[in-house]
Chains A and B, each alone.
With several copies, the nearest count.
Chain A
């Protein structure tokens, strides 16, 4: 199932390494498989490697789509 979590890059280190943060927890990972990552970016981390950056625009669009898809529904009390 490939457990991977979106994590914020808080520091880019030497040798393609970086420190990421999730829920206040920090971990050192490798950026060897991705390009152009800078602090503040969110990356998907799997077994200690970033696999991709998160596209913030697309994320917003997905959230918007939730609204769109459910605009006629109301939450049960």
Chain B
């Protein structure tokens, strides 16, 4: 597989590991946050951590759109699913995410709700065409990468004249989240969670470009390297961060030059700007209410906005108080600090979102952490 296999080469990995080992300053720690679950996944999947020097510490950020969705939004999706006139569809990732009271879309489906997994908004459009007597609600989630396909679907629904296609928008913005983390007292003032540098998202950056990171670098004086999601991309980017830190630089560097430009995909950005607008505030799991961090559908396209066309009421969401996801997502606690971890909360019966996707901090600890502790 061209443009894939080259970046998974074990020999190159060993050489990069040797370079890294030689170049790190043994007198200090390098605490690097990969914001994005894609990097977390690559690190776990290929065992990248085994190749890093001991003082290079990867901190997993809140970079999974599934994990950052607050429980109330899941409840809302389930409320749509429970309507007999609605077919609720979403990406496979969302089906197991727990809402209030142990529910999930998967469980709603088991109870008889019409919930469909789709691979693409194209499939959701097809569902709408094939089920004219039902309302198709697409539970849209994702960062900047996934927003353009949703915007595109709205445009297409308009062209096709679909009257039964609705979007429940949960699209969120990466820069706001990174900024929020950097501005949190733990990071900024108290210094209890020192972060020395960032791996910048790969595919988010394909859309938004490298330009938006320049502000952070200036404002917070931490280096950012935009990195591809293949394991050699990650190792190379870590090396680039180490070099910046060693040299006292704080710049935006772009390791993923083969796909990320300075300004990103302007066509996609324009489309998103046409259809979506900023929410004044949006709730992130773990980060709380983050200003201007979420997108809603503009009034011109309100005909496709599920929240406008099919209002549902959900009782106030009850997060499980013992769930430490919020602290974990901000890098302040470890999964093993949670009382529910591995007893009440398991990948089969996740109580918090961090236990859901394989990249979730708790799920990863459940599988890999158990192993790390054992060896």
Contacts and interface: CB of A to CB of B under 8 A. Distances in A.
Interface of A: 1-6, 8, 22-23, 29-30, 32-35, 42, 44, 46-49, 51-52, 54-56, 58-59, 61-63, 65-66, 69-70, 72-76
Interface of B: 1-4, 6, 11-12, 14-16, 18-19, 36-41, 63-64, 91, 119-123, 142-143, 145-146, 148-149, 152, 201-204, 206-207, 229, 232-233, 236, 239, 255, 257-260, 265, 267-268, 271, 359
A32 B149 CA distance: 9
A75 B120 contact: no
Contacts of A59: 3, 6, 258
A8 B3 CA distance: 10
A73 B303 CA distance: 60
B258 A54 contact: yes
Contacts of A8: 2
A76 B1 contact: no
Given A33-B148, A47-B119, 5 more contacts: A1-B39, A52-B259, A73-B18, A75-B15, A76-B14
B313 to A, nearest CB: 30
Contact of B3 (A3, A6, A32, A33): A6
Nearest to B152: A32
B173 to A, nearest CB: 13
Contacts of B201: 2
Contacts of A47: 91, 119-121, 146, 149
Contact of A1 (B18, B229, B232, B258): B229
A2 to B, nearest CB: 4
Given A33-B152, A69-B239, A73-B18, A52 B265 contact: yes
B36 A69 contact: no
Nearest to B271: A33
Nearest to B260: A52
A46 B149 contact: yes
Contact of A42 (B3, B120, B255, B271): B3
B91 A30 contact: no
Given A2-B204, A47-B119, A52-B265, A23 B259 contact: no
A69 B17 CA distance: 11
A54 to B, nearest CB: 5
A67 to B, nearest CB: 8
Q: Give 6 closest A-B pairs by Cβ, nearest first.
A: A48-B120, A1-B37, A1-B38, A70-B15, A73-B15, A6-B3
